[in-house]
Structure 1
Amino acid sequence: MPSRPSARSALASAVGLAGAALGGLAAYDLTQKRHTILRNYPVIGHMRYLLEGLRPELQQYFIERNWDGRPYDRDIRSIIYERSKGIHGEQPFGTERDVNASGYEYLVHSIAPVPEPAKMPRVRIGGPDCTQPYSMALMNVSAMSFGALSANAIRALNKGAQLGGFAHDTGEGSLSPYHEEMGGDLVWELGTGYFGSRTATGLLDEDIFREKSAKHQVKCISVKLSQGAKPGIGGVLPGPKVTAEIADIRGVPEGEKCVSPPSHAMFSTPTELIEFLARLRELSGGKPVGMKLCVGSRVEVLSLCKAMLEVGTTPDFVIVDGSEGGTGAAPLEFEDHMGMPLTQGLMTVNNALVGTGLRHRIRIGTSGKVAAGNDIVKRMIQGADYTNSARAMMMAIGCIQAQRCHTGRCPTGVTTQDPRRQRGLVVEDKSVRVKQYQEGTVAEAVKLMAAMGVSDPSELRPWMLRRNLSETSNISYATLYEWLEPGQLLAEPPETWAEAWSSATPDAFGTHV
């Protein structure tokens, strides 16, 4: 009789079979195009999806032990990931929030809901001095630069915008080839460094700007005064991320930390800023031109309004960035302690424009943790016309918030210039996710409005949003905040605005009052 195989040979066979199986799995992981983590981390990456499958149980375990105090963030992550994959499932067993807690906000539904409109609402951007107005979606891709994001990330975002018919803000890192490659609508952002259209001395090169702004894809131009993550200082791109390609696109030295100046060199007063915006509109052939800022004080906002009245022209839009927003690297002190939160900033800008009789000429956009349909509706009640989203869009293309953005070692290829890591981000797949996420989120916003008895955003009113002051009382935004009447500041400023109005001047920026 033949002898039985030894235990050692049986073990060797088992190990060989296991090795072959793992090799086959690794080969599949490396070539599949749906999951970034598996393309970059074959075999071991499956642990992430195993844990994702156990997510509800693990989350409840942590919540019960107070290890996770952020159920809102947890819910939003689920919404983004599932919606971007085309999954629109409802959650069982109701909310996990303490709906009686102080600060809890809710939308007021109607006992008589209305049908949802056949078409998604859009916003016309372009005042009386604009000859090429643009139709803006209710939710768009917020400002994120090439360099901060990888080429494939930019491609995926822009292709998603092209598929879904919404806009993609370039960020201040210039108009790159990857923004143009996919054909999506662009908002070209100019920061203090004027990257992509700067002279050798760091000023705006009007000839380069005229040429680039004339491109068909460029629908609007946005001048960044400040951003929510770090108001008062310029953007930063660490030296290791400043490759030869990025240096060429931005017009800066390769390998050196790229820091935008804290303020603009092309203007120094509110009047000069408004004149600069008018000049950009002229150079671009009449396209919408606006500005983006994180609000610091009422005085500065009112100074801008007085400058608009004095010069006789206005920006076509203003984007209000909240201090809670921002995807870029920033000092912790700036992230946590500088700048006005989005609600207060938005209310300040909206009231200032209404009170000076300018609101009908200017559209207001917002950015700062806008991720779900209720965020869109809430911001429009507070005075916005449309919204922009950065963090949620990053998550739609695969960001897992590993917080390695500044190191160049992003595991999902979103914020790295490493070609090997970028390989995991498949543009064809992730662009569809961006489109599905934006489409589903705007659809939910419209559905919420219909449940509130509203068929168009123009019908939203402050009393439709309420906030708990305590466990026993709540109040509507109509009463919680002050709402100025059109032209009220010009006629007779209310006592609460009088000191700021008298302090504001079109000839200087100020930060008091």
Structure 2
Amino acid sequence: GYFGCRTADGRFDPERFAAQARTPQVRMIEIKMSQGAKPGHGGILPKHKVTKEIAETRGILMGEDCISPSRHSAFSTPVELMHFIAQLRELSGGKPVGFKFCLGHPWEFMGIAKAMLETGILPDFIVVDGKEGGTGAAPVEFTDHIGVPMREGLLFVHNTLVGLNLRDKIKLGASGKIVSAFDIASVLAIGADWANSARGFMFAIGCIQSQSCHTNKCPTGVATQDTLRQRALVVPDKAQRVFNFHRNTLKALAEMLAAAGLDHPSQLSAKHLVRRMSATEIKLFSQLHVFLKPGELLTGEVNGEFYSRMWQMARADSFEPNEAAAA
């Protein structure tokens, strides 16, 4: 929706973006390509939730539903996305620029990867969201059936970048139903550089997952602009709870690392995770999953038919698959 940097008709406004992005409190720029709970869907902030402050901040009108489109108007192909990243980097004065998405068709991300190679433009970071990502306003059918789960998506993105010798140039974040210290450790072990956690903090301030975010009738005052209902959220009390949750989660992660004989989260790898396959068999994640070697996709000697086929189907000039390879 380009909120805060949009024209009157909702398109991207470079001048407004530059003015906002160059302020000191903006440290990095993230292009949101899809939200985990509703990939490819977009969203709506109903007009009864649009306050004067929200309208001024987003650059929208009061008294009208605020529509987040299901697609971007600033680009429509992988190559155009790379050029948009370069434009945002220049307009922001060189600040880190990346994108967040929930993986859909595998060839779509590989098309983005091909565009990186073709243009020489790289994002500074990529955040992989998962279909289990949260919002109580998501359609149930999307929550249940659309998008790739975060861990499978993360492993695919990590492998693709490794296979192109790009992994050391791009940081990877993971987002989607991450709550506990073990959740954090598990995504770091399979390729993430960091973890984004929203759900746990929502619980800490009182969210009970009533799934009424879009109604303006949140019973605990978390997701509402109703001033009466907001009184249920007592800021001094909730702030302490959020602080405690954050501190204790990181303490638990440190203790888990120490128990594994590690000094830093970056030392976690797939060999530290184990899954029970049956009553008599367990496997390390390093045995269970395919992990590409550096440069495999470039040489064509790919470990696994799936990655090879998806790479052949990917196009830098379109998110649609290469039909010849798909046949």
How would you bin the TM-score normalised by the shorter chain? over 0.9
The TM-score normalised by the length of structure 2 is 0.94
Q: Does 1:249 align with 2:57?
A: yes
- 1:506 aligned partner, one-letter code: A
Give the Å deviation of 1:471. 1.9
Distance in 2 between the 1:371 and 1:260 partners? Answer: 27
How many Å separate the matches in 2 of 1:458 and 1:331? 36
415 and 214 in structure 1: CA distance in 2 versus 1, 3 angstrom threshold:
same
Equivalent residues, number: 321
Residue type of the alignment partner of 1:509:
F
| Structure 2 gap ranges (5+) | none
* Structure-2 change in CA distance of 1:194 and 1:501 (3 Å): same
Could you tell me whether the CA contact under 8 Å between 2:136 and 2:209 is conserved in 1? no
Q: 1:461-490 CA deviation, whole Å, 9 max, x = no partner?
A: 211101111222121111111000111100
Counting only pairs closer than 5 Å after superposition, residues 188-337 of structure 1 correspond to structure 2 as: 193-337=1-145
Cα distance between partner residues in 2 of 1:355 and 1:294: 20
TM superposition shift of 1:319: 0.5
Query: C-alpha offsets along residues 291-332 of structure 1, whole Å, 9 cap, x if unaligned?
Result: 000001221111111111111121111000010112241111
2:121 counterpart SS class: coil
The one-letter amino acid of 2:69's match is: P
**Deviation at residue 437 of structure 1 after TM alignment:** 1.2
How far the C-alpha of 1:410 sits from its partner, in A, is 1.6
Runs of 5+ consecutive residues of structure 1 not aligned to the other structure: 1-192
Deviation of 1:245 after TM superposition, in Å, equals 2.9
Following the alignment from structure 2 to structure 1, what is the Cα–Cα distance between the partners of residues 132 and 63?
A: 30
Equivalent residue letter for 1:501:
W
CA distance, structure 2, for counterparts of residue 407 and residue 268 of structure 1: 32
Q: Contact conserved, 2:314 with 2:321, CA < 8 A, in 1?
A: no
Structure 2 residue identity aligned to 1:488: E
Indicate the RMSD between aligned Cα atoms, in angstroms. Answer: 1.5
Contact 2:135 2:211 in 1 (8 A): no
Matched, 1:346 2:154: yes
Counterparts of 1:493 and 1:255, CA distance in 2: 58
The match for 1:502 among 292, 308, 312 is: 312
Tell me which amino acid in the other structure corresponds to 2:117. L
Which deviations, in whole Å up to 9, do the C-alpha atoms of 1:375-411 show, x marking residues without a partner? 0000001110111112211111122223332221222
Could you tell me how far 1:427 is from its partner in structure 2?
2.4
5 Å-filtered alignment, 1:145-224, equals 193-224=1-32
- Once the two structures are TM-superposed, the CA of residue 429 in structure 1 deviates from its matched residue by 2.8
- Cα shift at 1:258: 1.9
Cα distance, 1:221 vs structure 2: 0.8
Mapped pair 1:398 → 2:203: no
2:196 paired residue number: 388
Cα shift at 1:511: 5.6
**1:416 match: secondary structure:** coil
Matched position secondary structure for 1:469: strand
Does the 8 Å contact 2:78/2:316 carry over to 1? yes
Q: Which residue of 1 aligns with 2:296?
A: 488
Identity percentage over the alignment? 50
- The residue type paired with residue 132 of structure 2 is E
Native 8 Å contact 1:327 1:390 kept in 2: no
Q: Which moved more, 1:221-230 or 1:472-481?
A: 472-481
Larger radius of gyration: 1
* Aligned counterparts of 1:429 and 1:217: Cα–Cα separation in 2: 26
Conservation of the 8 A alpha-carbon contact between 1:317 and 1:365:
yes
1:476 is aligned, of 277, 284, 303, to 284
Residue 463 of structure 1 pairs with residue 268 of structure 2: no
Which residue type is aligned with residue 277 of structure 1? I
Match among 241, 247, 250 for residue 442 of structure 1: 250
C-alpha contact 2:220 2:229 (8 A) present in aligned 1: yes
Change (3 A) 1:243 1:484: same
Question: Match of 1:413?
Answer: 221
Other structure's SS at 2:278 match: coil
| CA distance in structure 2 between the partners assigned to 1:403 and 1:240 by the alignment | 17
Alpha-carbon deviations, 1:142-182, whole Å to 9, x = none? xxxxxxxxxxxxxxxxxxxxxxxxxxxxxxxxxxxxxxxxx
On the 8 A contact 1:347/1:383 being kept in 2, the answer is yes
CA drift at 1:243: 2.7
Contact between 1:296 and 1:511, CA under 8 Å: does it hold in 2? no
**Equivalent residue letter for 2:308:** A
Q: What is the 5 A alignment of 1:50-69?
A: none
Partner AA of 1:279 in structure 2: Q
Structure of greater relative contact order (alpha carbons < 8 Å, 6+ residues apart) = 1
Greater mean deviation of Cα atoms: 239-248 or 326-335:
239-248
